Homo-oligomer: A and B are copies of this chain.
Amino acid sequence: MMGLLPPDMIVEANTVRFDSLALDSGANLSPVDVAYETYGTLNAAKSNAILILHAFSGDAHAAGISQETGKPGWWDNMIGPGKAFDTDRYFVICSNVLGGCRGTTGPSSVNPATGCPYAMSFPVITIGDMVRLQKMLVDWFGIQRLLAVAGGSMGGMQALEWAVSYPGRVAAALPIATTTRHSAQQIAFNEVGRQAIMADPDWNGGDYYGKQPPARGLAVARMVGHITYMSDQSMREKFGRRLRGKESFSFGFDVDFEVESYLRYRGSQFVSRFDANSYLYISKAMDYFDLTSGNGTLAAALEQSHSRFLVISFTSDWLYPSYQSQELVRALRSRNRDVAYVELESNYGHDAFLVDVAEQTEMVRGFLAATFERLS
């Protein structure tokens, strides 16, 4: 099957190691591996590079078919030849975040000082730390200025952090379906996920590597997540009250409804590909994220940026509701920053940025082309 694909569709994961990384907490991490993939070709001027930033449970495999797993990337419908992030024109990089479990150093990595996995001795990290590591990767590529940084959800937070922390290094930022800081409700959903994991005796204070992982707790956490990623309407359309493989109620506690079956499946599937401690660390980084750093106004924080912005939100996204994007847009406008904003009509809820890409593609393509022309 893979032999039939054009060779540029098959992608390979790479890893680069850096000596050390200073963290916002004051801790230092040494060494640090970064897993990344690239798509397209970096031009001679190194002016066509776009950094794609993944969401909570994503990884470096954003596009193409993985040589390792045979699976398409998580944003394959947006990245590739002729797509929104057009790899015929641009060089696209995506790396696994710090704290992750897909090649980049995280709590499941071996601490060279002990020869054992870090587990909960891994330092608490921030979105700022993730971005600092990404900048080391971009420096390593010898890229002076990124054409764009783009991502949805937690990826959008990283895009915002890039624009504010490294203003000279980012021509354009595309924060999608995201926020400049987590609300109480967003923190609350993350906290429920963390508590579900830590309530599982198999979590064992984080020391479960080589043993039974906290599969039940992680599955429950993921189930909660999935509800928040969909909308009331998309769940109604996808599942409604349809029963699973039966014509009447079971009057028991096995699966009755399709939606129950879906959630249980998604929960158990997640366990096979994600590390529970990474769930704790990455969700904490999202909760800590605040573009104002807790002092000053959002407008003052954004004043440091000189990027162009394309901000996108989705009508049915109740996890990262449009009002949060609009707050960002107002703050940018108040400092006369170059910002375009679209609220796209979609029923898919927060997942819209991953699945409902027709209009998104138009918006991104035009915005990138205009930015690229302006720089050339």
Contacts and interface: CB of A to CB of B under 8 A. Distances in A.
B241 A184 contact: yes
Contacts of A267: 195
Contacts of A318: 232, 318
Contact of A189 (B182, B227, B240): B227
B280 A238 contact: no
Given A200-B199, A201-B201, A264-B195, A188 B227 contact: yes
Number of copies: 2
A195 B183 contact: no
Contacts of A288: 249, 256
A interface SS class: helix
Contact of A184 (B185, B189, B238): B238
A284 interface: yes
Interface stretch (A137-145, A159-167, A213-221, A351-359): A213-221
Contacts of A272: none
Interface of A: 25, 120, 123-124, 181-185, 187-189, 191-192, 194-196, 198-201, 216-217, 219-220, 223-224, 226-227, 230, 232, 235-236, 238-241, 249, 251-253, 256-260, 263-264, 267, 280, 284, 287-288, 290, 294, 318, 321
12 contacts: A183-B232, A184-B240, A187-B257, A188-B226, A191-B223, A191-B263, A199-B216, A199-B217, A201-B201, A241-B294, A253-B284, A257-B287
